[in-house]
Amino acid sequence: MKKNIIFMIFLIIVSWILFTIFSYAIAYIVTTLALQKSWIFRILNSIFGVALFAVWLLIWYGITRYFFKRNLRNFKEKYS
């Protein structure tokens, strides 16, 4: 059970760090967006915000999938 807990706590910490970094970046962009006068900058900022969100999700999923697959491989070797 210890191994399961350590693995999951590691994933929670990774998720939390990603959340802190990306939510800060996205909220900063959205907040500065409200101050923009030019529509071109507003559109560019919105696109950048959405792109950052997509990058966040991709990194998050990629890291989880990598460690999950690695664990599953080890599991197969040990239990089958």
Partner 1 sequence: MNLDIVLASIFLPLISFVATYTLTPPLIRFMKNKGKVGIDIHKPNFPEVADMGGLAIIISLIITTILLYLTLPLTKYLLILLTGLITGIVGLFDDIYNLGGKLKPVLTLLGGIPILVTFSYNPHPALPFLPVTSLIILYPILVPIGIAVTSNAVNMLDVINGATPLLTIPIFVSLVIVSIFDGKIYAIPMLLIIFASLLAFYNYNKYPAKVFMGNAGDFFVGGLLGAIAIIFRFEVVVMVAMLPYIMHGFYVLSSVGRLFERREIKNKPVILKGNMLFPSQDEKAPISLMRLILSAGPLKEYEVARVFFILSCFSSALAILTSFLTKI
Least distance CB 76 / partner 1 (angstroms) = 6
Q: How many residues does the chain have?
A: 80
Least distance CB 71 / partner 1 (angstroms) = 4
Please give the residue ranges that form the binding site for partner 1 (CB under 8 A). Answer: 1, 3-9, 11-13, 15-16, 19-20, 23-24, 27-28, 30-31, 34, 57, 60-61, 64-65, 68, 71-72, 75-76, 79-80
**Which tokens belong to 19?**
């959340």
- In angstroms, the first-to-last Cα distance of the chain is 19
DSSP string, 43-66: HHHHHHHHHHHHHHHHHHHHHHHH
Residue among 5 and 40 whose Cβ is closer to partner 1: 5
